[in-house]
C-alpha cells in the first residue's frame, strides 16, 4: 500500500511513536491487527432477555433516584433502570460525572456486562452509547485514544482492495471462503453479524491452514537427533527406585519415551495428563535414562517456585542413583550464576533444572541430549526451540498439565507425538466440590477453622491482586486484610500474588509448604506446581470469573494425599460450575470448557505457542480447526501448484527462527 502511517490524518510524531512501540509500522499492519471484540449496537435487548455474563446493549429509562457515595474505597454511582420488560440496577465505579449524565431527560442507551447479584441483575460500569451498528473494539495502544485509533483504521480501509489475495480460487471455492480484501473490510467495519462471521471465518481459516502446513513442514524435516541408548530393563529399574509403584499409564509413557530416545531422529513428544497423574515422575525418568547414558538433560519450568520444587525433588530422587542435579534461575547471585554456568559447561551437572535462564546466551551445555519443558501451555514454540538449540538437535519432551481433548491436541501440536497419562495413582481421594452462595460464607469459614484445628491447611484464591474499577471481584489483598482481622483472626495467614518480588513470593509459598502458614490467600500463582499434601481446602472467590479448566487446575492443589479434601466455589450455581461438582475428569471438563467458550478463548496465544496469533485465534472453533487440518493434510500429500504455494506462504508467515532451523 502506497500510503504511509505518517501521512494519516491526525497522525503526529508522538502517535507514530506509540504505534511503532505496539508493533504497528505500516498501514498494512493496521489492517492485519484485527479487533479483539465487537459491540453490537444495532439493536437493544429487552431486560427480560438478559443473561448473566453477557455483554449487551439496553435502551432504558432511569427509575427512581441516583445513589452516589463511597464503597470499599471506590466512588460508586448507582440507580435503577427499566424498560417495558423489567428492571435492573446499573452501577459505575470511580466515574462521578455519571451522576450528571443520569440526571438528563430521555432514554439511556447503555452497553456493559450483565452480572447476577442477590437483588437481581446488574449492569456493571456500562458505557453510554450513541453510535449504531457493529462497533469494533481494538486492544488498547498506550498513548492513543480508542476513537483516534479507529479513525486510523478507517483511513487504512481506503486501500484495502489493494491487499493481494493469497489463497487459490479453487481452494476458496472448495472451502466456501470469501475474498481476502472483502474479509478484511468486514472484519473492521462489518455491515451485519452474518458478514462479520464470514469475514472472520475466512481470515481464521487462512491463518490456521498456514499454521498446519508449517507444522507439517516441521515434522517432515525432523533433524537427525542424539541417539540415547537405553538398556533393557532400564525403565523398570528406574521405577523400582521410587517410593511408589507406577501406574500402568506412567510405565507405558516412559517406555514410549525410551523408544524415541534410541531413535536416529530427534524425539519431539508431548506428555499430557490430568492433575495428579504423575507426569513429573515420568519426566524425571526420561532425565535419568539420559544421564545414565552419559548425556546431559535440562528441564525448564515457567516459574522459579516450580523450578526449585522440581530441583529439590530431583535431588532426592537422583543423588542415590549417582546423578548430580543443579538449579539455574534468574534470581541467583553473580557468583552462584558463574559457578552454575561452569558446572553446566563441564558436565558436572548431569541434570539442570531452571527457568528461562536455561536459554540465556551465557549458558552452554557439554552434551545436551534431552530438553524437557514443563507446563507447555506457559511456553511457546520459540522458547522450546531456543532451548533445544543449546545442543546438537537434542530430544525434546514437553509436559502439559492442562488437559486438552485428544483430537484437538493432535491438530494443534502437529509437530509433536502425543502421549496421554490417563490413570491416576491408586489412593487419590476425589476432591469434594461444592458451590457456596454468599449467605453460607460464614459457615465455610467455620469449616476452615475446624480443618486447621485438625492440623490441615487451606488456600483462598482470588481473581485479582488489588481492587479494580472495571471488575467487581474480591481482590487478594483486601480478602487477606478482612480475614486477618475478622473471620479467621488468630490463624496464621499468608499472602501470595504475582506482583510480589520473586523472593517474597517464594518465601510465602515455602512457608505454606513447610506448614508455617495455616491459610494462604493467593491469586492464580498457585495454579500449577505448588505441592502441599497437607492442604485440604481450596476456596475460589468469584469462581464465575475463571474458566472450567483453570478451576480444575486450582482444585488440583488439594487432595494430594490420603486426607479428604474440599473445593468451595464462591458463586451462584449455574450449568458450567455444576459440572465441576459432578466430575473430576479433566478431559471431560476441558471438552465442555471448549464447547462453552470456544477453542481460541481457552488456548489463547500462550497455549498455542508463538505461532498462532491474532487472526487465527479470533475466529477459531473446532470445526474450522479440523477443516484447516484436513486441508493441509490433503495439500501436503500432493505435489501440486496449490501445495507449493501454501508451503511458500507458510514459510513466509512463520519463517522466523522457529522454522529457519527446521526448514533450511
Q: How far is 229 from 117, CA to CA, in rounded Å?
A: 62
> Has residue 189 got a pLDDT over 90?
yes
Q: Which three cell numbers stand for residue 354?
A: 531452571
> Has residue 177 got a pLDDT over 50?
yes
Q: What's the distance, Cα to Cα, between the start and end of the chain in Å?
A: 30
Residue 390 sits in the same domain as residue 483: no
| 446-475: average pLDDT | 78
Count other Cβ atoms within 10 Å, centred on residue 415. 21
Q: How far is 523 from 516, CA to CA, in rounded Å?
A: 19
- Domain of residue 524, CATH code: 3.40.50.300
Q: How far is 289 from 393, CA to CA, in rounded Å?
A: 17
> pLDDT digit string (tens) for 599-648?
555 444 333 333 444 444 444 566 787 788 889 888 888 888 898 999 89
Residue 312 sits in the same domain as residue 410: yes
Note the helical H segments in 319-405: 334-346, 381-388
Residue 407 sits in the same domain as residue 300: yes
| 18-38: average pLDDT | 91
**334-338, 345-349, 527-531: the lowest-pLDDT one:** 527-531
Work out the pLDDT band at 561, boundaries 50, 70, 90: confident
> Has residue 509 got a pLDDT over 50?
yes
As a whole number, the mean pLDDT across the chain is: 85
Measured in whole angstroms, how far is the alpha carbon of residue 5 from the centre of its chain?
Answer: 33
Q: What are phi and psi of 229, to 5 degrees?
A: -65, 130
Residue 360 sits in the same domain as residue 465: no
CA angle at 374 for the pair 391 and 244, rounded to the nearest 5°: 110
Residue 349 sits in the same domain as residue 437: no
Residue 314 sits in the same domain as residue 459: no
Q: Which helix (H) or strand (E) holds 569?
A: strand 566-570
Name the more confident of 655 and 64: 64
- Domain membership of residue 622 (yes or no) is no
Q: Which three cell numbers stand for residue 85?
A: 420488560
- Domain of residue 75, CATH code: 2.40.50.140
Please, is 208 exposed, middle or buried when counting C-beta atoms within 10 Å of its C-beta (0-12, 13-18, 19+)?
A: buried
What local confidence, expressed as pLDDT, does residue 471 receive?
43
- Domain membership of residue 286 (yes or no) is yes
Q: Which helix (H) or strand (E) holds 89?
A: strand 86-93
**Domains of the chain: total:** 3
Q: How far is 196 from 379, CA to CA, in rounded Å?
A: 32
Name the more confident of 330 and 218: 330
| 196-203: average pLDDT | 93
Q: How far is 104 from 99, CA to CA, in rounded Å?
A: 9
- Domain membership of residue 217 (yes or no) is no
- Domain membership of residue 279 (yes or no) is yes
What local confidence, expressed as pLDDT, does residue 265 receive?
80
- Domain membership of residue 540 (yes or no) is yes
What local confidence, expressed as pLDDT, does residue 563 receive?
87
Residue 412 sits in the same domain as residue 509: no
Q: How far is CA 568 from CA 133, 208, 513, 596, in A?
A: 42, 38, 21, 22
What local confidence, expressed as pLDDT, does residue 616 receive?
43
> Has residue 162 got a pLDDT over 80?
yes
**79-88, 424-433, 507-516, 606-615: the lowest-pLDDT one:** 606-615
Q: What is the DSSP letter of 162?
A: G
Where does a domain end: 395, 421, 447? 421
Residue 465 sits in the same domain as residue 395: no
Highest mean pLDDT among 194-198, 277-281, 652-656: 194-198
Nearest Cα residue to 383 out of 371, 395, 393, 394: 371
Q: How far is 419 from 60, CA to CA, in rounded Å?
A: 55
Q: Which three cell numbers stand for residue 439?
A: 449467605
Residue 566 sits in the same domain as residue 441: yes
Q: Which residue segment(s) compose the domain that 91 sits in?
A: 43-128
Residue 301 sits in the same domain as residue 437: no
What local confidence, expressed as pLDDT, does residue 597 receive?
63
Please, is 520 exposed, middle or buried when counting C-beta atoms within 10 Å of its C-beta (0-12, 13-18, 19+)?
A: buried
Q: How far is 163 from 184, CA to CA, in rounded Å?
A: 9
Q: How far is 535 from 86, CA to CA, in rounded Å?
A: 46
> pLDDT digit string (tens) for 341-365?
999 999 999 999 998 888 777 888 8
User: What angle, rounded to 10 degrees, do the helices at 502-513 and 304-318 form?
Assistant: 50
> pLDDT digit string (tens) for 536-557?
999 999 898 888 888 998 998 8
In the sheet that holds 493-496, the strands lie side by side as 432-436, 566-570, 535-540, 457-461, 519-522, 493-496
Where does a domain end: 128, 160, 190? 128
What local confidence, expressed as pLDDT, does residue 27 receive?
92
Q: Which three cell numbers stand for residue 50?
A: 438478559
Residue 449 sits in the same domain as residue 571: yes
Amino acid at each position: 500500500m502506497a500510503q504511509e502511517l505518517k501521512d494519516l490524518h491526525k497522525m503526529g510524531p508522538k502517535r507514530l511513536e506509540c504505534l511503532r512501540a505496539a508493533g504497528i509500522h505500516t498501514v498494512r499492519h493496521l489492517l492485519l491487527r484485527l479487533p479483539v471484540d465487537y459491540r453490537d449496537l444495532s439493536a437493544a435487548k429487552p431486560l427480560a432477555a438478559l443473561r448473566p455474563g453477557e455483554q449487551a446493549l439496553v435502551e432504558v429509562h432511569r427509575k427512581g433516584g441516583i445513589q452516589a457515595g463511597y464503597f470499599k474505597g471506590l466512588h460508586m454511582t448507582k440507580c435503577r433502570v427499566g424498560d417495558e420488560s423489567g428492571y435492573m440496577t446499573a452501577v459505575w465505579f470511580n466515574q462521578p460525572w455519571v451522576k450528571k449524565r443520569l440526571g438528563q431527560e430521555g432514554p439511556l442507551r447503555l452497553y456493559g456486562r450483565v452480572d447476577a447479584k442477590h437483588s437481581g441483575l446488574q449492569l456493571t460500569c456500562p458505557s453510554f452509547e450513541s453510535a449504531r451498528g457493529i462497533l469494533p473494539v481494538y486492544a488498547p495502544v498506550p498513548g492513543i485514544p480508542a476513537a483516534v485509533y479507529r479513525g486510523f483504521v478507517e483511513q487504512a480501509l481506503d486501500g484495502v482492495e489493494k491487499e493481494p489475495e493469497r489463497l487459490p480460487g479453487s481452494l476458496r471455492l472448495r472451502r466456501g471462503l470469501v475474498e481476502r480484501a472483502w474479509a478484511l473490510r468486514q472484519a473492521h467495519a462489518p455491515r451485519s453479524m452474518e458478514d462479520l462471521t464470514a469475514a472472520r471465518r475466512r481470515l481464521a481459516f487462512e491463518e490456521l491452514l498456514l499454521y498446519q502446513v508449517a507444522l507439517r513442514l516441521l515434522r517432515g524435516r525432523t533433524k537427525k537427533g542424539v541417539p540415547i541408548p537405553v538398556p533393557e530393563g532400564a525403565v523398570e529399574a528406574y521405577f523400582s527406585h521410587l517410593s511408589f509403584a507406577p501406574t500402568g499409564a506412567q510405565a507405558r509413557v516412559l517406555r514410549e519415551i525410551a523408544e524415541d530416545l534410541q531413535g536416529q531422529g530427534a524425539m519431539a513428544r508431548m506428555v499430557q495428563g490430568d492433575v495428579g497423574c504423575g507426569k513429573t515422575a515420568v519426566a524425571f525418568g526420561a532425565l535419568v535414562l539420559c544421564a545414565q547414558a552419559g548425556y546431559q538433560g535440562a528441564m525448564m519450568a515457567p516459574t522459579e517456585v516450580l523450578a526449585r520444587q522440581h530441583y529439590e525433588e530431583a535431588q532426592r530422587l537422583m543423588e542415590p542413583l549417582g546423578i548430580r542435579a543443579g538449579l539455574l534461575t534468574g534470581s541467583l547471585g553473580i557468583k552462584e550464576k558463574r559457578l552454575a554456568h561452569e558446572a553446566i559447561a563441564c558436565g558436572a551437572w548431569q541434570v539442570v533444572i531452571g527457568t528461562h535462564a536455561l536459554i540465556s546466551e551465557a549458558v552452554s551445555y557439554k552434551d545436551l541430549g534431552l530438553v524437557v519443558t514443563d507446563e507447555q501451555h506457559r511456553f511457546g514454540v520459540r522458547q522450546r526451540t531456543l532451548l533445544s538449540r543449546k545442543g546438537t538437535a537434542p530430544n525434546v519432551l514437553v509436559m502439559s498439565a492442562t488437559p486438552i481433548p485428544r483430537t484437538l491436541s493432535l491438530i494443534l501440536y502437529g509437530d509433536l507425538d502425543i502421549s496421554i497419562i490417563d490413570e491416576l495413582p491408586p489412593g487419590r481421594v476425589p476432591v469434594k466440590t461444592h458451590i457456596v452462595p454468599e449467605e453460607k460464607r460464614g459457615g465455610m469459614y467455620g469449616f476452615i477453622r475446624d480443618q486447621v484445628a485438625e492440623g490441615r491447611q487451606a488456600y483462598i484464591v482470588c481473581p485479582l491482586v488489588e481492587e479494580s474499577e472495571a471488575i467487581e471481584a474480591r481482590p487478594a489483598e483486601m480478602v487477606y486484610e478482612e480475614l486477618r482481622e475478622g473471620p479467621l483472626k488468630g490463624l496464621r495467614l499468608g499472602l501470595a500474588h504475582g506482583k510480589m518480588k520473586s523472593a517474597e513470593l517464594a518465601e510465602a509459598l515455602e512457608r505454606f509448604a513447610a506448614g508455617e502458614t495455616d491459610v494462604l490467600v493467593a491469586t492464580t500463582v498457585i495454579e500449577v506446581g505448588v505441592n502441599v499434601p497437607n492442604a485440604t481446602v481450596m476456596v475460589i472467590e468469584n469462581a464465575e470469573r475463571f474458566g472450567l479448566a483453570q478451576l480444575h487446575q486450582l482444585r488440583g492443589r488439594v487432595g494430594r494425599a490420603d486426607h479428604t479434601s474440599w473445593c468451595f466455589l464462591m458463586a451462584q450455581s449455574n450449568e458450567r460450575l455444576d459440572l465441576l461438582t459432578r466430575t473430576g475428569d479433566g478431559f471431560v471438563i476441558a471438552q465442555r470448557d471448549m464447547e462453552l467458550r470456544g477453542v481460541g478463548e481457552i488456548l489463547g496465544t500462550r497455549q498455542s505457542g508463538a505461532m498462532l496469533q491474532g487472526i487465527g485465534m479470533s475466529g477459531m472453533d473446532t470445526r474450522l480447526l479440523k477443516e484447516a487440518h484436513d486441508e493441509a493434510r490433503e495439500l501436503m500429500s500432493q505435489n501440486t501448484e496449490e501445495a507449493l504455494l501454501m508451503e511458500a506462504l507458510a514459510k513466509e508467515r512463520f519463517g522466523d527462527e522457529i522454522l529457519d532451523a527446521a526448514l533450511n
